[in-house]
Every structure is written in C-alpha cells, then in structure tokens.
Amino acid sequence: MILTKQQSRVFFLEERAKLTPAETEHLSRLIAGRLFHILTERSVRYLHSFLGADSRQEVDTRLLRQLLQTKIPALDWATPRIIPGTRRMEHYVWDDTTVFSVNRWGIDEPDASSAQIFDLRSIDAVLVPLLAYDRQGNRAGYGGGYYDRFLAECRSDTLKIGLSFFEPIDAISDVNAWDIRLDFCVTPFAVHRWDY
C-alpha cells in the first residue's frame, strides 16, 4: 500500500477507531514487552514519551511507564507540553508526582507551574506518536509538525522509537525534507528497525 500522509492519516484514524479499550490495553502490554528489550539493549537512561490519549486510541504510555518502571527502576522519564500559540513543545520530568491537565486536543500535559523542566540534550530515546509509518521508517502524525521540530533539536544519537498498533505501509509517497525517520517502530507483534 502506497499512500500520501493525508490518505494514511484517514486510513489509520479509522483503523484505530475500531479498537476497544480492552484491545488497546492488551496491545499496549505487548508493546511494553518488546520495548523493554530495546531500552536495555541500548542502555537507555533518559526516556522521553508522549502521553497517549485514550480518546484517540493511542498507545497507552501511562501503562507502559507503569510496567517498565518495575523492570527498569533507574529509567528517568520526560514528557512534552505544547507551548500555547506555537508549534513547539517544552519538556518536563514525568514521575509519580507529576500533575497533568488536559489540553484543548484532549491530550494530558504536565502542569507547567509545578513540573520540573527536563534538559532535551540529555534524552537518550524518544517514544514517538504516529498515525502511519512505512517500511523505510518515515512517519506521519496528526500534521502539526511538533515532532519533526522537536526531533530536529535532539542529539543526533537520540533514538527515535515509534509506537504503533499496526504494521507499516509500503511507502508514504510525499516525504519532505524536514521529516525525521524513525530508528525503531515497536508494534504488538514486531520490532522494525532502521538503526544500522
């Protein structure tokens, strides 16, 4: 299947909408198990993650953090907040004390007044949200360009790990110069890797 970013967004939004809460929980648990092996193999210490929105049937990264925390207690987590009125994000520590509030898109974000700023240069790996990705590691999100901008600011050796409930399409046909490719994509049933 070869689709444009826009076609792939429509297709995967529909696929995701078919998943029940029980299914997303089960599939997220399978993703956590595969992710564990990558994080330990690559000695990841500082991990950045989006906050998956249940209302959008995203991967349940709260559950991922809960499961991985017991297996890798030394792992430090960070999570983003959109700077209002911009297409940029700032980054905060995500620990058991972090207070979240829902933004206008139904996505939980750390409360800027109480959360602690996280230095983006220390991040070893980023869990990247996506709607679609292809066999070359190209991705498409909701179209805001938030992650393209953020990943461009990260260290060049920061691992970009996509999370998806689905397998890749053959190609996204309209890849742009600013698009940043994934190093890995973890699904419930496979790990795809382009980090060679």
Ligand X SMILES: Nc1ncnc2c1ncn2[C@@H]1O[C@H](COP(=O)(O)OP(=O)(O)OP(=O)(O)O)[C@@H](O)[C@H]1O
Residues that bind ligand FFO (CB under 6 A): 50-53, 58, 80, 82, 105, 107, 129, 141-142, 144, 146-147
Residues 3-32 that bind ligand X (CB under 6 A): 5
* Cα–Cα dist 193/196, whole Å: 8
Distance from the Cα of residue 129 to its chain's centroid: 3
Q: Which of ligand X, ligand FFO, none is residue 51 near (CB under 5 to 8 Å by kind)?
A: ligand FFO
Q: Single out the residue of 146, 135, 134, 133 nearest to residue 178, CA to CA.
A: 146
The verdict on whether residue 182 carries a ligand-binding annotation is no
The verdict on whether residue 140 carries a ligand-binding annotation is yes
Looking at 25-33, 106-114, 138-146, 154-162, which segment touches ligand X (CB under 6 A)?
138-146
96-135 burial by CB neighbour count: b if 16+ within 10 A, else e?
eebebeeeeeebbbbeeeebeebebeebbbbbbbbbbbbe
Is there binding between residue 189 and ligand X (CB under 6 A)? Answer: no
Looking at 39-47, 54-62, 140-148, 187-195, which segment touches ligand X (CB under 6 A)?
140-148
* Residue ranges at the known binding site for ATP: 5-9, 139-147
